[in-house]
Structure 1
Amino acid sequence: MTPTPHAPGADTEQRLTELEIKASYADDLLDTLNQLVARQQEQIDLLLREVGRLRQQGDPQAAPAVRNLRDELPPHY
């Protein structure tokens, strides 16, 4: 049996359709990731403001406590 001949543009048309589908999924993924990054940036900004507010509430004259983890006992002792 001889293989059936393809229309010359059929393979190209199928590949083009597949590429368009992939591009559509990539666009959707990019939009989703952009929204996620924007939400994370909002959360980071909120947390930075909160840390700044907490620092202002603290004693400005107090030096940060220096801790040595070797001096601390684990909770099971």
Structure 2
Amino acid sequence: MEQLEEQIAHLTKTVDELSDVVARQDNEITLLINRVRMLMEREADREAAGSGGVVIGDERPPHY
């Protein structure tokens, strides 16, 4: 019986630790989603304003 109580205590501790990890990851994911959204909006505004100027990949600059 004592061994079962030890196992339950260990499993309870593990579940609590995993719950903390999941909660932290949820906060980090939410923060990252907000940052990506902000960057996408900023880039869309920059693109709409026509002030891009960054050459991506094989794209030729406009003066060619």
TM-score by length of 2: 0.80
**Alignment root-mean-square deviation, CA:** 1.7
Q: How many residues are aligned here?
A: 55
Which runs of 4 or more aligned residues in structure 1 lie more than 6 Å from their structure 2 counterparts after TM superposition? Answer: none
TM-score by length of 1: 0.67
Identity over aligned residues, as a percent?
Answer: 9
**Alpha-carbon distance between aligned partners in 2 of 1:24 and 1:53, rounded to the nearest angstrom:** 44
Quote the offset at 1:66 in angstroms: 1.1
1:51 paired with 2:43, answer: yes
Structure having the higher Rg: 1
**Alpha-carbon distance between aligned partners in 2 of 1:12 and 1:66, rounded to the nearest angstrom:** 69
Higher relative contact order (CA 8 A, sep 6+): 2
Q: Which has the higher helix share?
A: 2
Which runs of 5 or more structure 1 residues have no equivalent in the other structure? 1-8, 68-77
